[in-house]
Homo-oligomer: A and B are copies of this chain.
Amino acid sequence: MKIALAQQNYHIGNFEHNTRRIIEGIEAAKARGADLVVFSELSVCGYPPRDFLEFEDFIRRCDQAIDEIRKHTGTIGVLVGCPVRNPAREGKDLFNAAWLLYEGEVKAIRHKTLLPTYDIFDENRYFEPSFEWNIVPFKGHRLAVTVCEDIWNLGDNPLYRQCPMDRLITQSPDCMINLSASPFDYAHAEERGAIVRANVDKYGLPMFYCNAVGSQTEIVFDGGSMIMDASGRIVRALPFFEEGMIVAELDAQGRVASHEEAVSAGTAHTTRTTAAPAAAGATAAAPGGPVQEAAPRAPRPAAAVHTAPRAVTAASGEFSRTDIEVLQPELNIDRIYEALVLGIRDYFQKMGFTKAIIASSGGIDSALTLALACDALGAPHVRAVLMPSPYSSEHSVADAVTLSETLGNPYDIVPIREVYEAFLHTLQPLFGDLPFSLAEENIQSRSRGNIVMSIANKFGYIMLNTSNKSELATGYGTLYGDMAGGLGVLGDLYKLQVYALSRFINRDREVIPRNILDKAPSAELRPGQKDSDSLPEYAVLDPLLYQYIERRQGPAELARQGFDAALVARVLKMVNTNEYKRNQFCPIIRVSPKAFGIGRRVPIVAKYLG
């Protein structure tokens, strides 16, 4: 029996698009002679649908999509992910399920058992866990079908009491098939490969692992679907961050063979550094076209620093995910690049936007954001606005001009002096002779925010935000000013990672001017201002923030790690008392195991370490 894996990019709630893509995948798999084609978790409605699942209308549309898809099955079996109603009176209304469609009918439905409810995941909010486990018989084979998290407990994941494969193995399946929606973070792909292998090792069965690809607001799904034989050899693998299809033969003895040479996950990985707008379309939708076999790829460039291979102990539990002991700014920086480019591109494409606008200050954050946006959307679709204030240095405008001229994107210079002075004059009756303060700094920042938003409103741009994670953590930013924008591109990168990614951008040629990389960071909102006037040096701050945010270390642990106690108290207080600002921030493309936003949920009105 030939089994195909279709790695596709879905659009949440866009049943028309998703159904079309799935049917195209079915046709492509038929053309490849497949007997069964596998799609990813909740492929029918997109993942995560969140509270749309509470709408009866939404579930009806899921049913209608299934009805449409099953008409296209015929002699090929189709495994798709779709919610299904819980017929029992007790428990949540839905299961997160894998549906086997065949011969125009629904042949089997299997429910997800392990429902991740941590970090960005909320599955217990919507779904009832499975309480029964049965293999799926199909064309003489016995398939152990599971959904995503189900394979992440091998009996030693402390988050869960069930181990679905332990149940299924008692029914003598001859292969494992997993439908996933497993998101990217800079550490997760290795963990994913390790967990697939650990399942193969434990159960002695081949694994057909199908992941989603594409970005859903904050969450980037990175693909990397694979077929591993029972010996642990990767028979076929799909690239990261792209759509594709792979096929392999499962023989009567449960052995897997491929017509092509076996590939390792490493060589299947690809890096696409120059993405034209046309490529953007191909990634997200490729309307009308069949799903393409992944072409042979160039080897992935080695990242500057790699963690030592880590044992997958608690698997997907986030407590195990954050066990990289110290911040490593270069870690998988090439993949972070790909995730951010895909995150920007999919945000625009799925929202129906084409053009981005960015406040370009001459600093490194806006320079990097601009470079990423140009790669994602094409330089002609990215407009830079340079807005010098009375406190801007000469080189700021010059550096920003050089950057845009190198990138080839349009830019305008719009000085804010007149607006700033109008605010000061208007407020003079109230402010009187009070000294220059944070208020005047914020007026400049908000004047810029207003100018960019005005141009965006007038001409149909979406403003990209350039704040980094270090700034967001410490509250070093102005609400409605430099914190404005529709999508936070760098909000999950500490400043040291911003530098690392900028160096990656510059690895072949000087895209970001050297001067921007070299100069001391400054908001330039008062004469001679430097970030270091208000914040510790990033070389100290970022590792401390990482320990507090990603690794959840408290003051006692941080002191034991050698951080100065007074600095710890000061920094943790900054983080906690600025939650109100982050609460109003735009969505952030997530690249770390603990991003601000939907993955980190702390109270605003609270007094803890603050």
Contacts and interface: CB of A to CB of B under 8 A. Distances in A.
Contact of A418 (B89, B426, B453, B601): B426
A31 interface: no
Given A422-B418, A426-B451, A603 B13 contact: yes
A50 B158 contact: no
Nearest to A162: B90
A414 B426 CA distance: 7
A310 interface: no
Interface stretch (A97-105, A239-247, A510-518, A549-557): A549-557
A421 interface: yes
A154 to B, nearest CB: 13
Contacts of A526: none
Band of interface residues on A:
35 or more
Given A125-B118, A453-B480, A584-B585, A159 B92 contact: yes
Contacts of A554: 55-58, 60
Given A117-B117, A217-B604, A161 B454 contact: no
A587 B580 CA distance: 9
Nearest to A349: B605
A350 B607 contact: yes
Contacts of A46: 603, 606
A446 interface: yes
Interface stretch (A172-180, A431-439, A493-501): A431-439
A12 interface: yes
A265 to B, nearest CB: 28
A486 interface: yes
A608 B555 contact: no
Interface string A397-424: 0000000000000001011101101110
A125 B430 CA distance: 48
Contacts of A437: 457-458
| Most chain B beta-carbon contacts within 10 A, residue among A12, A92, A427, A607 | A607
B124 A14 contact: no
Contact of A480 (B48, B161, B484, B609): B484
A306 interface: no
A51 interface: yes
A592 interface: no
A215 B605 CA distance: 9
Contacts of A442: 453-454, 457
Interface in A341-355: 346-347, 350-351
Given A437-B457, A450-B423, A457-B439, A12 B56 contact: no
A13 B587 contact: no
A585 to B, nearest CB: 7
A486 B578 CA distance: 12
A122 B118 CA distance: 10
Interface string A439-471: 100110011011101110110000000000000
Given A416-B426, A446-B446, 10 more contacts: A11-B606, A13-B606, A13-B608, A117-B122, A412-B429, A427-B458, A431-B458, A439-B458, A480-B484, A583-B587
Interface of A: 11-14, 17, 46, 48-52, 54-58, 60, 89-93, 117-118, 122, 124-125, 158-161, 215-217, 319, 346-347, 350-351, 412, 414-416, 418-419, 421-423, 425-427, 429-431, 434, 437-439, 442-443, 446-447, 449-451, 453-455, 457-458, 479-480, 484, 486, 552-557, 580, 583-587, 600-610
Top-4 shortest CB links A-B:
A57-B554, A13-B608, A422-B422, A480-B480
